[in-house]
């Protein structure tokens, strides 16, 4: 499982011209589910993302996590993060989880995040939809995180 996080002052998701989710200061997470992922990867990546220290402390150093600052989290499902780009000029998607599996694990990730951050702090994109994602990246600060487990 892969998560691309961006530290933002604001972010939003629009589907069919309607804004379906928005956050203020926090993290935008693009979440990619791979075919060998399971509940173990979901829990590990959620823990890692919520505790990852990418927000400045009083000295301006990246020493605070999303949990520390009480920030918001916007989670957007993005199967293209699971693309195989190792050859050719076109991505392959054989590494991505099947849609039904990915949707289930996306839901599990959201549930875990809401349990730790609070329901109102976690917003979501729409699985399988053509989404427009807007953001103001602070820093810019962008990090790719992956679960270390395989086949959880």
DSSP track, 26-47: EEEEEEE-BTT--HHHHHHHHH
Structure confidence at residue 150 (pLDDT): 59
Structure confidence at residue 152 (pLDDT): 47
Phi-psi region of 123 (alpha: psi -120 to 50; beta: other; left: phi over 0): beta
Is 142 considered catalytic here? no
Is the confidence at residue 135, as pLDDT, over 60?
Answer: yes
> 131 in a domain, yes or no?
yes
Rounded CA gap, 116 and 142, in Å?
22
Distance of CA 119 to the CA centre of its chain: 16
Residue of 14, 80, 85, 127 marked active site? 80
Overall average pLDDT of the 78-106 stretch: 94
Structure confidence at residue 61 (pLDDT): 96
> 77 in a domain, yes or no?
yes
Residue of 6, 42, 55, 79 marked active site? 79
92: containing domain: 2-145
Task: Residue 23: name the closest of 66, 73, 70 by CA.
Answer: 73
Q: Kindly indicate the confidence band of residue 115, based on its pLDDT and cuts at 50, 70 and 90.
A: very high
pLDDT tens for 73-82 read 999 999 999 9
Structure confidence at residue 149 (pLDDT): 67
> 151 in a domain, yes or no?
no
As for how many domains the chain has, the answer is 1
Q: Is the peptide bond before 140 cis (omega within 30 degrees of 0)?
A: yes
Is the confidence at residue 63, as pLDDT, over 70?
Answer: yes
CATH code (residue 111): 3.50.80.10
> 122 in a domain, yes or no?
yes
> 124 in a domain, yes or no?
yes
Is 78 considered catalytic here? yes
Residue of 6, 55, 78, 109 marked active site? 78
Is 80 considered catalytic here? yes
Overall average pLDDT of the 86-113 stretch: 95
From 41-50, 104-113, 140-149, the region with the lowest mean pLDDT: 140-149
Do the beta carbons of residue 28 and residue 133 sit within 8 Å? yes
Give Dmax (Cα) for the chain: 47
Structure confidence at residue 148 (pLDDT): 77
> 150 in a domain, yes or no?
no
pLDDT tens for 34-47 read 999 999 999 999 99
> 152 in a domain, yes or no?
no
> 100 in a domain, yes or no?
yes
Task: Residue 78: name the closest of 109, 47, 43, 122 by CA.
Answer: 109
Distance of CA 118 to the CA centre of its chain: 16
């Amino acid at each position: 499982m892969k998560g691309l996080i961006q530290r933002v002052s604001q972010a939003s998701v629009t589907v069919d011209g309607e804004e379906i989710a928005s956050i203020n200061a926090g993290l935008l997470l693009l979440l990619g589910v791979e075919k060998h992922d399971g509940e173990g990867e979901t829990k590990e990546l959620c823990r890692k993302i919520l505790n990852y220290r990418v927000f400045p402390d009083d000295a301006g150093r990246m020493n605070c996590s999303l949990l520390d600052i009480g920030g918001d989290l916007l989670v957007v499902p993005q199967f293209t993060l699971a693309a195989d780009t190792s050859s050719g000029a076109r991505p392959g998607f054989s590494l991505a989880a099947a849609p039904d599996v990915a949707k289930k694990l996306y839901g599990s990730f959201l549930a875990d995040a809401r349990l730790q951050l609070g329901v109102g702090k976690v917003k979501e994109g729409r699985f399988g939809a053509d989404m427009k994602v807007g953001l103001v990246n602070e820093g810019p600060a962008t990090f790719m995180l992956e679960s270390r487990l395989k086949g959880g």
